[in-house]
Amino acid sequence: MKWECFVCWKVNEDAADKCCLCRCCGRPRNFVPTSLMISSKAKPLVLHGLAAAQHELHPSLVHALQQSGLDLADSDSTGWTALHCAAMLGDATAIQCLLQPNDAEAKSDVKKRLEAARSGGWRALHLATRGGHLSAHNMATPPY
């Protein structure tokens, strides 16, 4: 079975579907989702740090964090959400992933996430526009 490490992004291949270690960094297969959920204050700031280190938000990481219970609409102390970070980076794929409602969310929750403003009133749409990221701008434009 092939799997991608959430820390170093190396593709690993193992014969059995069990908790395995990454051949590059030595971390377990489920390192990031498990570690984040131990913290009672897990915030999208973690995604910001991962994005800064990787210069992109991988959709597989976003899905894994969402499935592990991380509230992607939550913000850090300055109002930044994961959506703001993806828009600033111009990552249209991550924006699309962040705006798709999961089973427990209603469309109104996604709309609230899209319209969330950080300090200074900047929304994800503003950050994508300022960065000149057309595809990210189109993804962050409200559908009404």
For 96-132, give the DSSP string: HHHHS--TT--HHHHHHHHT---TTS--HHHHHHHTT
Determine the Cα–Cα distance for residues 87 and 59; give it in Å rounded to an integer: 14
Determine the Cα–Cα distance for residues 125 and 130; give it in Å rounded to an integer: 9
The pLDDT of residue 112 is 75
CA torsion angle for 121, 135, 65, 23 (degrees, to 10)?
A: -130
Provide the residue type at 42 as one letter: A
pTM of the model: 0.57
The pLDDT of residue 29 is 72
Domains of the chain: 1-38 (no CATH), 40-140 (1.25.40.20)
The pLDDT of residue 26 is 78
pLDDT in tens, the chain (144 residues): 777 776 666 788 877 666 678 777 777 776 654 444 444 444 445 555 555 555 566 777 777 777 766 677 777 667 777 788 888 888 888 888 888 776 666 677 777 777 777 767 888 888 888 888 877 777 767 664
The pLDDT of residue 36 is 42
109-115 LR contacts (CB < 8 Å, sep 24+): 109/73, 111/142, 112/73, 113/72, 113/73, 113/81, 113/83, 114/83, 114/140, 114/142, 115/142
